[in-house]
Amino acid sequence: MADYKEFLNNINREAYHEGEWQWQEGEYTVTRTYHYSPPGCHNSCGVLLYTKDGKLEKVEGDPLDPHSNGKLCIRCLNMPEAVNHPDRLKYPLKRVGKRGENKWERISWDEAYDTIEKKVKEIKKEYGSESIVGIHGTGRNINYQLPYFYQAGLETPNVAVMFFTGFACYLPRVVGSFAAMGEFVIVDASQAHEDRYMNEDWKPPACIIVWGNDPVKSNGDGFLGHWLVQCMQMGSKLIVIDPRLTWLAARADYWLQVRPGTDAAMALGMLNVIIGEDLYDHDFVDKWCFGLDALSQRVAEYPAEKVAEICDVPAEKIRGAARLFAKSKPSAVQWGLAFEQQISCMPLTSATISLFAITGNVDVPGGMLMVRAAFDTQRMYNYGEEFLPEGKMAKKLNSDAKGIAESSIVPHASSDVILHAIETGEPYPIKMAWIQSSNSLACPAMDAPRAYEALKKIDFIVYADPYMTPTAVAAADIVLPVAMSCERNSARSWWTPLRSMTKVTQYYEAKSDEEIIVDMGRRLNPKAFPFKNDVEFIEAYIKNDGNYPGTFEELRNKGGHEYWEWDTIYRKYEKGMLREDGNQGFATPTGRIELTPNAYGFWGLDPLPYHIEPPESPVSTPEMFKEYPLIMTTGGRSWEFFHSEHRQLKTMRELHPDPLMMLNPETAAKYDIKEGDWVWIESPKGRFKQKATFFPGLKPYVIHTEHAWWFPEKEAAEPSLFGVFDSNPNNLTPAGVVGKGGIGSPIKSMLVKIYKVEEGVNDQVMPTMQVTRMGGFKNVTK
C-alpha cells in the first residue's frame, strides 16, 4: 500500500489535466474516457485518446483512472492499428452472389434498414416473431443493448450466443451464485473503492485461489489480472488450480495440476479437509449458513486420497492447499471459464461457494465482495422482455420447447434447442437471424461444420461487425459496419464504477451498436424506442433501469466514471441491504447462504455437489482412450488476441503468427514431433491442425490447443472462408452434450490423437468429416 501511495503522490496531476475530460496537447486533441469494445475484452480501462484531424493516432493509459491505474495491455495500446485498418467494413453491403461467394454490393443505410424492416415484418406476420433469433457474442459492450433490441424491437424471446452448447461461459456461475447467496461475488481487490489500496476499510486477501483462468492475460468478467499482482506484492499467497502452468501458477504456494474436467472432485476434497479437520468458521456458519450437515455427509465421500486418484494430484498437496485457504484470513477465489466448460459446472459452482462461505469469507474486506451492477442497473439479458407480445415468452426455445432441454436455469434461450429447430423445424422453423458482435463459426460454435450447415438453412441473416468475417461470408444477406469503441457513445455498468465511452472519431459510414439499435428499433416498435439518439438510449438504461442521478454528459465531464457506494459497504447481510424486506440476511428462501440451494431442487438438480467423469476420459471411455490417448484442453488466452479478434493486425501476428498446440516435450518425442511442426489433432469427429510448441508445464497425457483462429490473409470465399476450419478445435467439440440442467459443456476435456502434417500427403482438413446430427439433447449425467 505504501508503494501505491507513493505512485499516487508522484503523479503530476496538473500535467494529466485532473478534472478535465478533453484538452489540447500541441497538434493532438486528448480525450479522457474508457475503452470497452470493439475491439476488446470483458474489461473497460481508462484511456487517453490522442486524435489529430479526426483520426486516432495514439492511446495511453490514464494514470488518474482509479480502476486500471494507467495500466493497459497490448490490445488497448495497439488500438490505432485496429481502428484505422483498411480491412474494416466501411459501408452497408448486400449479398449479390450466392452465400459463400463473397460477392457484395454497397448500399445506403436507408436501403439496408428498408430491406431488414420489410423482411422482419413479413416473417412476423407469416411465422411469428419467435422464428427470428437474436445472436450476440461474448459479454462485452452489447450486454444490455442487444437483448433490448432483440426482445423489444424484433420481439423475439430467442436470444442466445449461437451454437454455444451448455451456456458454457459465465452465466451458470452467476445463476449458481444467486441460487446459493442471492447475489454475485468477486474477489475484493479494492476495486469498489475510488481510493483503492489506501482505503482504510480494505485489506488485501491473505490467500487467493485462482481457479480455471489466467487473469493476467484474460482480464475476464470485469476483473483486471494486475489487481492480483498488486495483492501478491502486498503479501497475498496463491493457490492455482489449472492443468497448465500459468504465470501465476509459477508463483503460487500450491499449484494443483488437475486432470481436465475433474475440478468438482478437487473442490469436494478441499471441503472434506476443511470440515473434517474442523477448520471452518463456526460462528459464520452458525449464523449465516444453511445445510452444513448434509454437505458434511456428501464431502465425507471424497477423502483426499480418493480425490488424488481422480484428479491426479498428490493428496498432501490437496490437504496443504485446503489448510492454507481455510487458515488464511481473509481468503478469496478468482474463478474462471473452466467452470462452465465441463459437465460438472453446477456442482462445481456450489462446492466452490461452500468453500468461501464456510470459511467466513463472504462480503468481508479482502474476501468475496458482494457486488451489483453500478447504480443498480441489474437487468442485462432480460432487458426489454416487458415489450414482448403476450404469449411470446412461453415460446422461448428452452424447457418449454417440447422438453428438448431440461430447464430454464439461464435466462437465454438454449442455442442447442435453436439448432434443433433450425435443422428440423420443430417446434417451429427459424426463418431469420440477426448476428451482432459474434464471429460464430470461428469462435463459439461447437461442432463448427454442423453450425455452418445450419446457418445456410436460415432464410435471411443480418450480420453486424467491424470486419468481414468467415461467418458473414458464409451466411449473411445484409452486412452492417459497426463502429469501434472510440467511435461510439456508450456506458458500462458491469461492476463499479459506472463508466462512459466518448465518441471522438468517425470511420466512413460505420455506426455504433447503440445507433443501429435505435435506428431499427424506432422502425420496428416505436413505443419501445422513444429515443431520439444513442445518448437517450444510454440514459434510459443508467437512469431509469438503474438509479444513476446524473446525465451521460455529466458522467463524461467527471472523467468518465462514478463510483457507487453500495458496493463499498462490507457485511451487507448484517445491515439489511440484501433482502427486499429490509431484514438481516441473504436474499434466499432461508435468509442464509444455502450450501444446499433450494433453487437447485427447483431446477431438478442435486442440491449437493458431486463429481462426474467427463464423457470422454481414461476412466469413462477406456477403450476410446486406447486409440485417442491424449486429453485435449482448449481456450487458453493469449496476450495478443481476444477470442477471434485482432487476427488482421500486423503487430499482433508478428508476435503470434500461428495457432499453437502446446505439448510436453516427452509427448513430442514419443510422436517424433519437433518444435514448429504442424500437427493434426484428431478425434472421431474430425481434425484440425496447429503448430507444435513445447511446454513442460503440461502433463504428458494433456495437450492444449488455441481457439478462435481464422486467417484474414486467406481466401474469403468458400470453401476456404478465411481458413476458418483449418485450425479450429470446434471441428471436434460436440454440440448438445451437456451436464445436468442443460448446463456445462465438456470442451476442455476431449480425447484426441496427434500426428504430423505431411505436405502433399495429408495436409488438408479431413474430407470425410461429416456434419453430425443431434437428434435431441444428450445429457451425459443420466
Task: Out of 85-99, 391-405, 521-535, 560-574, pick the least confident.
Answer: 391-405
Q: What is the pLDDT of residue 4?
A: 64
CA-CA-CA-CA dihedral for 667, 669, 671, 673, to nearest 10 = 100
| Closest listed residue to residue 235, CA positions, set 568, 1, 570, 7 | 1
Q: What is the pLDDT of residue 2?
A: 61
The residue among 83, 117, 135 that closes a domain is: 83
Residue 730 located in a structural domain:
yes
Instruction: Please check whether residue 186 is in contact with residue 373, taking contact to mean a CB–CB distance below 8 angstroms.
Output: no
Higher per-residue pLDDT: 412 or 82: 82
3-state secondary structure of 178: helix
Residue 645 has pLDDT above 80, yes or no: yes
Q: What is the CATH number of the domain that holds 428?
A: 3.40.50.740
Q: What is the pLDDT of residue 14?
A: 85
H or E stretch at 74? helix 74-77
C-alpha 702 chain-centroid distance: 24
Q: Within this chain, do residues 135 and 58 fall inside the same structural domain, yes or no? A: no
User: In the predicted model, what is the mean pLDDT of residues 56-72?
Assistant: 96
Residues 332-374 have pLDDT tens digits of 999 999 999 999 999 999 999 999 999 999 999 999 999 999 9
For 283, which DSSP code?
A: H
Residue with cell 478425434: 683
545 pLDDT tier (thresholds 50, 70, 90):
confident
Residue 173 located in a structural domain:
no
The residue among 83, 109, 131 that closes a domain is: 83
Q: Within this chain, do residues 723 and 663 fall inside the same structural domain, yes or no? A: yes
Residues 262-283 have pLDDT tens digits of 999 999 999 999 999 999 999 9
Q: What is the pLDDT of residue 415?
A: 92
User: In the predicted model, what is the mean pLDDT of residues 663-692?
Assistant: 98
Task: State percent of the chain over pLDDT 90.
Answer: 89
Residue 129 has pLDDT above 50, yes or no: yes
H or E stretch at 211? strand 207-211
397 pLDDT tier (thresholds 50, 70, 90):
very high
Instruction: Please check whether residue 510 is in contact with residue 483, taking contact to mean a CB–CB distance below 8 angstroms.
Output: yes
Q: How far apart are CA 371 and CA 578, in angstroms?
A: 11
Residue 608 located in a structural domain:
no
Q: What is the pLDDT of residue 411?
A: 84
Domain boundaries, position 45: 4-83
Q: Within this chain, do residues 636 and 694 fall inside the same structural domain, yes or no? A: yes
Task: State percent of the chain over pLDDT 70.
Answer: 95
Q: Within this chain, do residues 710 and 689 fall inside the same structural domain, yes or no? A: yes
Q: How far apart are CA 759 and CA 674, in angstroms?
A: 15
The residue among 60, 83, 106 that closes a domain is: 83
Residue-wise DSSP of 540-558: IIIIIIS---S-HHHHHHT
Beta bridge partner(s), residue 499: 492, 561
Residue 735 located in a structural domain:
yes
Neighbours of 598 (CB within 10 A): 16
Q: Within this chain, do residues 413 and 303 fall inside the same structural domain, yes or no? A: no
Q: Within this chain, do residues 555 and 582 fall inside the same structural domain, yes or no? A: no
Q: Within this chain, do residues 351 and 489 fall inside the same structural domain, yes or no? A: no
Instruction: Please check whether residue 728 is in contact with residue 634, taking contact to mean a CB–CB distance below 8 angstroms.
Output: no
Main-chain phi, psi angles of 500, to 5 degrees: -115, 150
Report the chain's mean pLDDT, rounded to a whole number. 94
Task: Out of 519-533, 674-688, 760-774, pick the least confident.
Answer: 760-774
Q: Within this chain, do residues 467 and 545 fall inside the same structural domain, yes or no? A: yes
Residue 583 located in a structural domain:
yes
Q: Within this chain, do residues 384 and 367 fall inside the same structural domain, yes or no? A: no
Q: What is the pLDDT of residue 615?
A: 97
For 378, which DSSP code?
A: -
Number of domains present in the structure of the chain: 4
> CA separation (Å) from 103 to 26, 106, 718?
45, 10, 11
Q: Within this chain, do residues 461 and 330 fall inside the same structural domain, yes or no? A: no
Q: Within this chain, do residues 577 and 634 fall inside the same structural domain, yes or no? A: no
- CA atoms lying within 13 Å on the CB side of residue 72: 23
Q: What is the CATH number of the domain that holds 662?
A: 2.40.40.20
Q: What is the pLDDT of residue 409?
A: 86
User: In the predicted model, what is the mean pLDDT of residues 174-179?
Assistant: 96
Instruction: Please check whether residue 680 is in contact with residue 692, taking contact to mean a CB–CB distance below 8 angstroms.
Output: no
Residue 177 located in a structural domain:
no
Residue 325 located in a structural domain:
yes
3-state secondary structure of 694: strand
Residue 1 has pLDDT above 80, yes or no: no
Q: How far apart are CA 524 and CA 114, in angstroms?
A: 11
589: cell is: 428462501
Q: Within this chain, do residues 395 and 534 fall inside the same structural domain, yes or no? A: yes
Residue 171 located in a structural domain:
no
Q: What is the pLDDT of residue 381?
A: 85
Q: What is the CATH number of the domain that holds 22?
A: 2.20.25.90
